[in-house]
């Protein structure tokens, strides 16, 4: 019973993109590990960019610096 947790920043990920992630992840587990899709769980967590850090900085700050 695989459980996959995908964490992405909450930057306008669409319902369709989430569905593609769920389908693609499930298919990968079927193809590589021969897992049953009915018992494969995929959870997508959207994390606010203030709550995600890279190095010493919040992603919010890094995004702002990239656009200046």
Q: Report the catalytic residues.
A: 2
Rounded Cα–Cα distance for residues 23 and 39 (Å): 13
Rounded Cα–Cα distance for residues 41 and 60 (Å): 30
């Amino acid at each position: 019973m695989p459980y996959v947790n995908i964490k992405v920043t909450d930057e306008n990920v669409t319902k369709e993109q989430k569905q593609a992630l769920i389908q693609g992840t499930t298919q990968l587990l079927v193809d590589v590990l021969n897992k049953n899709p009915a018992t494969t769980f995929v959870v997508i967590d959207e994390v606010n960019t203030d709550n995600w850090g890279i190095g010493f900085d919040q992603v919010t700050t890094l995004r702002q610096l990239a656009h200046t």
